Structure 1
Amino acid sequence: MKPTVARKQPRKHEASPSHSMADQHESIDLGGPTVDSSAAARHSWFPSPPPPIYSCTLTPELVAKAREELQEKPEWRLRDVQALRDMILKEQPNLRTRLDDAFLLRFLRARKFDYDRALQLLLNYHAGRKAWPEVFQDLKPSTVKRVLDLGFLTVLPRPDPNGRYILCLRPGKWKPNDYPFVDNVRAIYLTLEKLIQPEETQVNGIVILADYTGVGMSQASNPGPFLAKKVVSILQDGFPIRIKAVNIINEPRIFKGIFAIIKPFLKEKMAERYILHGSDLRSLHRNIPRSVLPEEYGGTAGQLDMSAWSRLLLDCEEEFVVEFCQPDPLEGVVLPESMLFEGEQASGHDDDTFRGLRSQLYYCY
């Protein structure tokens, strides 16, 4: 029996010493996609994911941080993974999901090693794909190349002093006539999938820097509450990543209306992590130091390079094909009624809400 440990309401569970239960479920893939080591070598600025057979890649400092912040005990790490694996096989035997150690660790770390919450997050992760097929069908970097080419997003090459990579979004680069809004979501999701691979990110989390230069009424009113709710739900409750701060810069007056659409769907803890800087770069530098920012944002890390992250994603095309271009992992799975995503039936109410919020947008504009 697993030793008693002070945790955040984990389910008491006895972990078996092997993958014997998995052997009885041939439809479930224990392993993850094969990582192209040559592609990783071409992008040495970004850390590689853990090896296929898990071996901890965390530094002693990050091991200590994971112990303090995530309740991760190195001596029990794989035992906890096995406990979650056994829960999946017992409670969701038809779920076609990766069961390898590195993959399941993402969910345990994101929920501070609470087995039940980690399992719920895993189910939400897969439910998101089923609820939003426009985003997840045939999801691979080549399908969002135009988004990347236009400079909608990138990842800055240097993490901040807390080891957090910075996802830089520039919504003003998107014009509704260029391509559908969901393509932006697809590019963001692919980026998050790549960011979460290294164990450093799983422990440290990420920071978002959103530059609203050029955002006008056409961009602000396009997604609407229904899509905004889906995006927020996926990021908050359907993806195993820790978003530690969202820095908004150069926001126009209309951003008050944009935030009015988003805020009702944010948990209080996440809403508190939104920091509005306006055009005050000194305010930004108090949260993200100049040493990791490009010159465009008053930093000293050279000019903003939008191509490096694009090349990294495109070089991982095969990896994403294996991960996402497969049969529906929820086929034959019965999910509880309290699942995260409510489906299209909620759109009627959201349309009414949108009409009210659209008037707020015009007022702010």
Structure 2
Amino acid sequence: MAEESDFMNTGPSVGPQEGGGFPAAPPPIYTCTLTPELVVKAREELQEKPEWRLRDVQALRDMVLKEQPNLRTRLDDAFLLRFLRARKFDYDRALQLLINYHMSRRAWPEVFHDLRPSTVKHVLDRGFLTVLPHPDPHGRYILCLRPGKWKPNDYPFVDNIRAIYLTLEKLIQPEETQVNGIVILADYTGVGLTHASSIGPLLAKKVVGILQDGFPIRIKAVNIINEPRIFKGIFAIIKPFLKEKMAERYILHGSHLSSLHRNIPRCVLPEEYGGVLGDLDSSAWSRTLMDSEVEFVVEFCQPDPLEGVVFPDSMVFEGEEARGHSEDTFRGLRSQLYYCY
């Protein structure tokens, strides 16, 4: 039932699963790769019925072709399934998520223009992010962020966002990630006032908007460790844009990591892990992304998928008109940053 699309689905494997390593991407022609256990989980949590799966995909495909005929998007089964699973097989919400997914590229060209791994190699080399090679006991891969590795004078923060987005694109390919979701683990060691003051509400709003409403991934928890006092000010910038359900998934552990190890056992983390992620080896994930250069060129270095598409002004991604209000909000929050510091 898969159809040809404007974008090729190259999707090379990201590594063998046997004996550990990152999960493999699905083949271009859809074949279900879920284990019997994950089939049950998808049915219970996502309302996914295997016997209706391809019928549901075709329904979403028909909606795209009828309601957004000018939208240049992939229409293959594997791609559309990501959006159905992310919205629990609600057709209307899945279509809106698909539109938002493409709208984000237009709303934030600094992130999405020429988006490929080689353009963020400097971010990967500094160890700003990595993905642990083994999932947690719930089958969720762990995206590790180390904001303290970023120095504001070295390169714009938007480069970090580009690296995060590429990582999410790679992680969402396997079906097990679509069902299980991911966990974010952020180590704030070394983060200070300079870092916090470089990220304003407009930037925070765009990032949160994409993660909540513009990308087909389930973020099941955000674990924050070694957060400094300044984090209260940072979170004050982010929280107004978080939905209640997502805000509840932020867990602050401080430097006492017993609660973290209850959720992410030590066996999942590197043996040298000792309370910070400073010695975490990020080379394997860096190689995974760099080896996917051609894949991302095909996916992101194409004409505007929204060219000729007309959307109402009430779309999720508001663009520059929100800048004035956001900057006023930032001025009000800046005093909180200094107070916390």
TM-score class, shorter:
over 0.9
Distance 1:41 1:63 in 2: 21
1:215 is aligned, of 173, 191, 212, to 191
Report the Cα offset of residue 46 of structure 1.
1.1
| Aligned-partner Cα distance in 2 for 1:117–1:304 | 38
Match of 1:258 among 234, 237, 246: 234
Aligned counterpart in structure 1 of residue 216 of structure 2, from 219, 240, 248: 240
**2:105 aligns to what?**
129
Determine the structure 2 residue equivalent to 1:103.
79
Say if 2:154 is the partner of 1:178: yes
- Give the alignment partner of residue 141 of structure 2, picking from 146, 153, 165: 165
Q: Which amino acid aligns with 2:22?
A: F
Q: What residue in structure 2 maps to residue 203 of structure 1?
A: 179
Give the drift of 1:42: 11
Query: 1:281 touches 1:297 (CA, 8 Å); kept in 2?
Result: no
Structure 2 residue 256 is matched with structure 1 residue 280: yes
Structure 2 residue aligned with 1:11: none
What is the rounded CA distance, in whole Å, between the counterparts of 2:233 and 2:340 in structure 1?
Answer: 6
Deviation at 1:346, TM superposition (A): 0.9
Shift of 1:41: 5.7
Q: How does 1:1-365 map to 2 (within 5 A)?
A: 28-29=5-6, 32-37=8-13, 40=15, 45-298=21-274, 304-365=280-341
Residues in 2 aligned to 1:237 and 1:36: alpha-carbon distance in whole angstroms? 27
Distance across 2 between alignment mates of 1:210 and 1:364: 19
1:247 alignment partner, SS class: strand
The CA deviation string for residues 93-140 of structure 1, in whole angstroms up to 9 with x for no partner, is: 000000000000000000000000000000000000000000000000
CA distance in 1, matches of 2:16, 2:270: 24
1:184-236 CA distance string (max 9 Å, x none): 00000000000000000000000000000000011111020000000000001
In 2, distance between residues paired with 1:87 and 1:142? Answer: 36
State the superposition RMSD in angstroms.
Answer: 1.8
TM-score, L = length of structure 1: 0.89
- After TM superposition, the score normalised by the length of structure 2 is 0.96
Does the Cα contact within 8 Å between 2:209 and 2:241 map onto a contact in 1? Answer: yes
CA contact (8 A) 1:139 1:186 kept: yes
Aligned length: 338
Q: Does structure 2 retain, via aligned residues, the 8 Å contact 1:128–1:234?
A: yes
Distance 2:38 2:326 in 1: 43
**Partner Cα distance (2:33, 2:117) in 1:** 27
Q: Deviations over 1:2-46 (max 9, x none)?
A: xxxxxxxxxxxxxxxx67xx78xxxx52x6421335x64699711
Alignment deviations for residues 282-329 of structure 1 (CA, whole Å, 9 cap, x no partner): 121122111101245448xxx621100000000000000000000000
Q: Give the AA of the match of 2:244.
A: E
- Structure 2: give runs of 5+ residues left out of the alignment: none
- Contact 2:17/2:24 (8 A) holds in 1: no
* Secondary structure in structure 2 of the residue aligned to 1:286: helix
Identical amino acids, percent of aligned pairs: 83
Paired amino acid for 2:253: H
